[in-house]
Structure 1
Amino acid sequence: MTVDPFAKGGLHQAEAILKAHGVDAYFRSMAARTGDSHAVIDGRKVMLAGSNDYLGLSTHPAVIEAAVNAARRLGTSAGGSRALSGTLDLHGELEERIAAFLGQEAAVVTTTGFQANLALSALLGRSDIAFLDARVHASLLEAARLGWGRVRRYRHLDTAHLRELLAAAPDDAGRLVVTDGMFSMDGDVADLRALRDAADDFGAKLIVDAAHDMGVLGNRGAGLAEHCEVEDGLDLITATFSKAFASIGGVLAGPAGNVHYLRSNARSILFSAALPPASAAAALAALTVVETEPERRTRTLDLAEGLHNGLRTLGFDTRPSTTPIVPVRFADLAAGGAFWAALFRAGVFTNLVAAPAIPGGGAMLRLTLTANHDETHLATVLEAFDTAGRRLGVPRGPDLPPVRLTRGDGRRAGRR
């Protein structure tokens, strides 16, 4: 029997299930966006309560102006790959400044964050092994699969299991330990100090994806590595400008030799058109705002703490997150979809997540509030959850104490 390569499971099946229940949660088009984190969808103004624009910089006047001026001065495209005709002064300036910001010797900018992580495939020869946290971002898993080496997955945040896998590796194997810093779905964070110790004990390199924590955590906003005080103990940091930095593009930063190797050998860098001028300029302007307006980071964290604790008071369990990513889980996609639809009718747009983005089945609403929100917006979200929960009879979580988020902004960091 002939097998149809297009007839496999995936998001399209989740869409079909949801639409059978009258829910249309994916690929929704926005006709307009406003500076207060609202958007117009189907002619209605709704609050965006699931954006990765953590600091609200995508509508910051200085960021917009920088992008517009760069496009006027340099055009809409770099016109080639970085190795040939596509490198701009903007790229060099961005690399120098982002490396210093992250406390690293050097950096190379890529066209997307996904491509930055795909570059890691160039590190994996036939005798090498990549040890990945079980819940790393899809781009890190794809990078490991693209390389010539083997892939081992350690249980999520389980350093003891990682040590077991490292100990079982052949003596002649190159070892790469790869993790997210802030995990994009559940909002929990890696123990970078424990991972560094494990990597050192077994002669491994440690690579951390700071996509979601860069700009959000740390006293300067330099991410989880700064918060854990291990900036000088990492072999590579990868990140993207598409979250807190309100642009597009990726970066790899670390010791100069490591960065230069990937700059010269990674196919996702060598064979891709360079980051467009407007995107590079926007990321540079966003970096300036991150450095000069720390109150944005504080407001994002304060609102996140209020959202966590407000939902917990209503009986919703937001564990294991200790960050601005606020997850609320449901037993199945139909239940999650019904809740998503109720919130949308109330004017609150959230992210409905299902397989393959989350393991183990079920569904999840992933919420975030940005620095462009305020206490009134927070109250609106909590009221919508309370109303929907009463009507739908959503199972409530256990009684949970208040939480203090992982911060690194000069205030006490805590976990529940």
Structure 2
Amino acid sequence: MANWGALERELEQLKKEGRYRPITVWETGSDTWMNIGGRRVLQMSSNNYLGLTNHPDLKKAAIEAIEQYGVGSGSVRTITGTLHIHDQLEQELAAFKETEAALVFQSGFTTNQGVMTILGADDVVISDELNHASIIDGIRLTKAQRRIYAHRDMDQLEAVLRECGSFAKRVVVTDGVFSMDGDIAPLPAIVELAEKYDAIVFVDDAHASGVLGRNGKGSTDHFGLKGRVHIQVGTLSKAVGAVGGYAAGDQVLKDFLIQKARPFLFSTSAPPAVAATCLAAIRVLRRSESLIGQLWSNATYFRTKVRALGFNTGGSETPIVPVIVGDPAKTMLFSDLLLQQGVFAQGIVFPTVAMDKGRVRFIVTANHTREDLDFAIDALELVGNKIGLLT
């Protein structure tokens, strides 16, 4: 038997610091109210922004695809794993994003790793300090030089760009919406600096897909920057309601990634039912501006009420609304006490966020009713007073 003593000690330390979190097993599908341990609780941590996981069009598309294609694709994309439904999804994604092409990966995480393949030893990647872990890990896999700029600090970004003129390629990468804080990247300023210093702009719209822009086209559309953002990564796993990721941009980018991106080359393609579900979701988005309007109305209502109680929600300006607590153990206690009141909101602590920036992250969806949101606000007030977060 292996000696796991070091791992056991590290786990014990996590428990002592209040940072250990077991997996939560849910007894019902993704929705606004879900069952856990035989209880019905309000779900405030799901990325199912538009409620599409239960949309009848998506369910129908998945069932029909299974009947037509079976349950699996049988291979990687470059052998026999590109079925008509995969090609159709990429064509409609590109049209939706208003780019020349789009390439679908198995997840948003692997998309970011795959896109980093464009970087070589003579290049530099310049990254916002609060970018998602998938970007950080993707950068670590490259031989490129790397530079970090302070969160949304355009003066520092320009200083870094000015220093990096000798590199063959300069790639500036940023989240579109930052997943832990719910703030939006200053994309127009990033694009202007990139154009000034001849850099490539790469935006990860995991939490902006289906949320920002016309019909949820993303942050590039939100800011009216069509044609000026070179790489748009999106997810099919959050607002779209299924699973997967994609890179949208010029045809040459797609062609290069097909040849070079190892996550694409060495992973079996998405099951046909998933591809069909995502295709149906894109078609729903094209005609569902009202869903996104409801999402933003709910988010504004909830954030305003939470701030009025006296909670610190940081720089949130999207449906991601963190309640910043600070201490990891107190953060997890806050989350646990909320669950006792019937509200599930995940506590997030170091190393996902800084040690003193623990927070309980709320995510508002289009399907939450005002009664749901008021229920959560009442629970927040009760628990906040109980543990001394409100004075």
TM (norm. structure 2) is 0.95
Deviates more, 1:305-314 or 1:281-290: 281-290
CA contact 2:30–2:48 (8 Å) conserved in 1? no
Of residues 235, 242, 246, the one that matches 1:240 is 235
Decide whether aligned partners of structure 1 residues 344 and 11 sit closer, same or farther in structure 2, where only a CA change above 3 A counts.
farther
Aligned partner of residue 173 in structure 2, secondary structure: strand
**5+ residue gaps in structure 2?**
none
- Equivalent residue runs for 1:327-346 within 5 Å: 327-346=322-341
Q: Report the counterpart of residue 176 of structure 1 in structure 2.
A: 171
Cα shift at 1:17:
3.8
1:30 maps to 2:26: yes
Q: Report the counterpart of residue 399 of structure 1 in structure 2.
A: none
Distance 1:354 1:71 in 2: 40
The amino acid of 1:120's aligned partner reads V
Distance 1:270 1:139 in 2: 18
1:112 maps to 2:111: no
Aligned partner of residue 18 in structure 2, secondary structure: helix
Aligned partner of residue 208 in structure 2, secondary structure: coil
Distance 1:6 1:250 in 2: 35
Q: Report the counterpart of residue 251 of structure 2 in structure 1.
A: 256
Of residues 59, 65, 69, the one that matches 2:60 is 65
Distance 2:102 2:347 in 1: 34
CA contact 1:159–1:195 (8 Å) conserved in 2? yes
Cα shift at 1:34:
6.4
Q: Report the counterpart of residue 90 of structure 1 in structure 2.
A: 85
Decide whether aligned partners of structure 1 residues 57 and 344 sit closer, same or farther in structure 2, where only a CA change above 3 A counts.
same
Distance 2:330 2:50 in 1: 31
CA contact 1:77–1:276 (8 Å) conserved in 2? yes
Cα shift at 1:120:
2.1
The amino acid of 1:311's aligned partner reads V
Decide whether aligned partners of structure 1 residues 383 and 115 sit closer, same or farther in structure 2, where only a CA change above 3 A counts.
same
Decide whether aligned partners of structure 1 residues 248 and 131 sit closer, same or farther in structure 2, where only a CA change above 3 A counts.
same
Cα shift at 1:318:
1.2
The amino acid of 2:54's aligned partner reads T
Q: Report the counterpart of residue 413 of structure 1 in structure 2.
A: none
Distance 1:170 1:105 in 2: 28
- Equivalent residue runs for 1:29-178 within 5 Å: 29-33=25-29, 35=31, 37-178=32-173
CA contact 2:150–2:156 (8 Å) conserved in 1? yes
Of residues 312, 320, 323, the one that matches 1:317 is 312
Q: Deviations 1:315-356 (Å, cap 9, x if unpaired)?
A: 112120110000111121121112111110111101110112
CA contact 2:328–2:355 (8 Å) conserved in 1? no
The amino acid of 1:29's aligned partner reads V
Q: Deviations 1:129-177 (Å, cap 9, x if unpaired)?
A: 1000001111111111101111111111011111111111251432110
The amino acid of 1:122's aligned partner reads T
Q: Deviations 1:230-272 (Å, cap 9, x if unpaired)?
A: 1210111011100100000110000111221112211111111
CA contact 2:149–2:157 (8 Å) conserved in 1? yes
Decide whether aligned partners of structure 1 residues 255 and 6 sit closer, same or farther in structure 2, where only a CA change above 3 A counts.
farther
Cα shift at 1:10:
7.9
Q: Report the counterpart of residue 18 of structure 1 in structure 2.
A: 18
Distance 2:71 2:85 in 1: 13
Instruction: State the identity as a percent.
Output: 34
CA contact 2:215–2:287 (8 Å) conserved in 1? no
CA contact 2:349–2:357 (8 Å) conserved in 1? yes
The amino acid of 2:99's aligned partner reads Q
The amino acid of 1:126's aligned partner reads A
The amino acid of 2:384's aligned partner reads G
Distance 2:224 2:205 in 1: 14
Decide whether aligned partners of structure 1 residues 254 and 298 sit closer, same or farther in structure 2, where only a CA change above 3 A counts.
same
CA contact 1:120–1:144 (8 Å) conserved in 2? no
The amino acid of 1:309's aligned partner reads T
Q: Deviations 1:175-217 (Å, cap 9, x if unpaired)?
A: 1100000011101011111111111111110000011111111
1:192 maps to 2:199: no
Decide whether aligned partners of structure 1 residues 41 and 170 sit closer, same or farther in structure 2, where only a CA change above 3 A counts.
same
Aligned partner of residue 237 in structure 1, secondary structure: strand
Deviates more, 1:124-133 or 1:5-14: 5-14
Aligned pairs, how many?
A: 389
Decide whether aligned partners of structure 1 residues 72 and 33 sit closer, same or farther in structure 2, where only a CA change above 3 A counts.
same
Cα shift at 1:45:
0.7
| Cα RMSD for the two superposed structures | 2.0
CA contact 2:202–2:229 (8 Å) conserved in 1? yes
Decide whether aligned partners of structure 1 residues 179 and 370 sit closer, same or farther in structure 2, where only a CA change above 3 A counts.
same
The amino acid of 1:31's aligned partner reads E
Distance 2:10 2:108 in 1: 22
Deviates more, 1:359-368 or 1:52-61: 359-368
CA contact 1:15–1:26 (8 Å) conserved in 2? no
1:392 maps to 2:387: yes
Q: Report the counterpart of residue 225 of structure 1 in structure 2.
A: 220
The amino acid of 2:268's aligned partner reads A
Q: Report the counterpart of residue 364 of structure 2 in structure 1.
A: 369
Aligned partner of residue 258 in structure 2, secondary structure: helix
Distance 2:261 2:154 in 1: 29
1:201 maps to 2:196: yes
Distance 1:271 1:12 in 2: 36
Distance 2:364 2:67 in 1: 33
Distance 2:242 2:16 in 1: 32
The amino acid of 2:151's aligned partner reads H
Distance 2:48 2:239 in 1: 5
The amino acid of 2:18's aligned partner reads L
Cα shift at 1:361:
3.1
Q: Report the counterpart of residue 300 of structure 1 in structure 2.
A: 295
CA contact 2:66–2:272 (8 Å) conserved in 1? yes
Aligned partner of residue 261 in structure 1, secondary structure: helix
